[in-house]
Structure 1
Amino acid sequence: MGIAASELRRYVIRPTLLYLGRHDPTAELFLVGVAASQSALGTKLDTQRGHGLYSINGNRHCRLWDEFLAKDPDLASLVRGLASQHAFLTGPNVELTVNLRYSTAIAWLMVEASRLELPAEHDLLGMARIWRQIFQPQGQLKDFATAWQTSVRPLYQVSTAIS
């Protein structure tokens, strides 16, 4: 059993992006789509492809720290503040699996490190291309699109019903 897309967005993704000072509604939707396509919203948290909601490979995780976060100590400190005090030191990749806010921060920073701009929130093909480039180079665009349609599209109906 995974996590509801609306709750992932509201209680994990949005607060994490706000904490990092990087809040953007399109980023929220993109990350829900990534979690949906990578782990079926947490149904598969640890696979050969990677760890956690976003299936982040351990090598990519280390490279992000070494090549991106190491150059920005303030940001690195913020991200490190999301991690468990002792578990992070002994098993940093476990944090990707068990710590939703930490893995969300790492996933978003992988997007930032790529220097790719997110397309408009309704540009499904553009979102799928960025997903494939950053998270799943061997992936099919239709895999992201299918996950998006089932997990993210209903969020639009919820937000318009609330407005």
Structure 2
Amino acid sequence: MTSTPPTELAAQVQWLVDRAAISDLLIEFARTLDEREFDANTALYVPEGSFGVEGAFTLQGHEQLAATGSPRGLGQYDGTWHGSSNHAIAIDGDTATTRSYLLGVHMLGGGTFDHADGGGWYDCTLRRTAEGWRFVTVRVHEVWNAGQPLPHVPPAH
């Protein structure tokens, strides 16, 4: 998935800057969720952007994305921790695709041993905007669960 770097120096520098900015965006995505900065998380998307968990739900547009912090969304947990690693990034002009490994821990409130966990990957599409790189789509592909069932996600197969 990783794009081949260009050969001209100026293009190589831009490619490296874009890769760093996209990786930072992926990290900021997880940080804003875990620090419950849901407005900041929504701002990481283009206005028509979408977030979806495969086989469970899709949130479309800033209004629905802002509801992530609701009692039906991540707001139902005492805390969350989302790890995102192994950022594979392919850039094509002003668009990009990424795949990142995912580890999500969701504290359910019954003590430190009461949690719902999932792992898999994020597939994302991005667009360069005047504000920098922004998500067009974020898709979660969960491949395993541990601990308690995730209340908002059907079990992985």
Higher strand content, 1 or 2: 2
Higher helix content, 1 or 2: 1
Question: TM-score with structure 1 length normalisation?
Answer: 0.30
Q: Which has the larger radius of gyration?
A: 2
Question: TM-score with structure 2 length normalisation?
Answer: 0.30
